[in-house]
Amino acid sequence: QVQLMQSGAEVKEPGSSVTVSCKASGGTFGAFAVNWVRLAPGQGLEWVARIIPVLGAPKNALKFQGRVTITADESTTIAYMTLRGLGSDDTAIYYCARESHGDPYYFEDWGQGTLVTVSS
Amino acid sequence: DIQMTQSPSSLSASIGDRVNITCRASQAISNWLAWYQLKPGTAPKLLISAASNLQSGVPSRFSGSGSGTDFTLTISSLQPEDFATYYCQQANSLPVTFGQGTRLEIK
């Protein structure tokens, strides 16, 4: 069973950037896609981006185009998400989630979540 | 993008009740559908994949059905630990999209 451990809570000013990390332990890292999903206060789950570590080729939701960068380092088994140009509506819990078995886009394993608060 | 519409948005029920949550996709997605359970302070939990495939360790009182555009999550006999928010998610194509959630509360 894969365990995903995320970095700690962040408080950021509007307009700044945040980087959240997600370290995988147990199981194979490179071949399985890592996704980022967020949950904003009073809102539902929202998919942000996806990467397959061994391939790269990140994909992201159109609303984050130009603001999000995701990477994955096979040597350290850590995935990263950087979100730039933060606004108050980016305040949310950000989860990494891994597709750990055969069919794509099913999120079997999740990190514990990282609360990002955007406030001046 | 494929839009996912859940109903109801909230539901009050009692221990032992049978409940159904429905999810409709804006276009046919075959059986590429997942259901997740979310409790405050915890990460989402995948309950069902491929519309009806119960994940390991998930109680058998949970079941899923449907294909094409219409799907249902059924909890056959509610237990105290089932009170949570449930989300459907289409796994047909990127961008992955979720329903707006159904909050299941104790009556």
pLDDT digits (tens, 9 = 90+) for B19-42: 999 999 999 999 999 999 999 999
In Å, how far are A61, B8, B11, B33, B69 from B23, measured between CA atoms? 21, 9, 14, 9, 8
Query: Considering only alpha carbons, which residue of chain A is nearest residue B47?
Result: A108
Q: CA dihedral defined by B48, B52, B54, B60, rounded to 10 degrees?
A: 120
| Eight-class DSSP state of B80 | G
Rounded to an integer, what distance in angstroms lies between the CA atom of residue A10 and that of residue A33? 25
Tokens of B18: 């049978």
Report the residue from B43, B96, B101 with minimal CB separation from A44: B101
Q: Answer for the pair A81, A6: CB distance below 8 angstroms, yes or no.
A: no
Rounded to an integer, what distance in angstroms lies between the CA atom of residue B25 and that of residue B4? 5
The per-residue pLDDT for A56 is 86
Place of tokens 């933060």: A86
The per-residue pLDDT for A27 is 79
Q: Is A39 in contact with B38 (Cβ distance < 8 A)? A: yes
Does the CB of A105 have a partner CB in chain B at under 8 Å?
yes
> In whole angstroms, what separates CA B24 from the centre of its chain?
11
Q: Is B36 in contact with A37 (Cβ distance < 8 A)? A: no
Neighbour count for residue A109 (Cβ, 10 Å): 21
Surface-to-core class of residue B34, CB atoms within 10 Å of its CB (0-12 exposed, 13-18 middle, 19+ buried)? buried
User: pLDDT above 70 covers what percent of chain B?
Assistant: 100
Q: Print pLDDT tens along chain A (120 aa).
A: 789 999 999 999 999 999 999 999 987 888 899 999 999 999 999 999 999 999 988 999 999 999 999 999 999 999 999 999 999 999 999 999 999 877 899 999 999 999 999 999
Residues of chain B contacting A97 with CB distance shorter than 8 Å: 44
Interval B83-96 mean pLDDT = 97
Q: Is B91 in contact with A104 (Cβ distance < 8 A)? A: yes
Q: B83 pLDDT band (50/70/90 cuts)?
A: very high
The per-residue pLDDT for B103 is 98
* Phi then psi dihedrals of residue A98, to 5 deg: -110, 140
pLDDT digits (tens, 9 = 90+) for B33-66: 999 999 999 999 999 999 999 999 999 999 999 9
> In whole angstroms, what separates CA B27 from the centre of its chain?
18
User: pLDDT above 90 covers what percent of chain B?
Assistant: 98
Q: Is B44 in contact with A106 (Cβ distance < 8 A)? A: no
Give exposure, A28-48, as e/b (b: 16+ Cβ within 10 Å).
ebeebbbbbbbbeeeebbbbb
The per-residue pLDDT for A29 is 85
Q: Answer for the pair B31, A92: CB distance below 8 angstroms, yes or no.
A: no
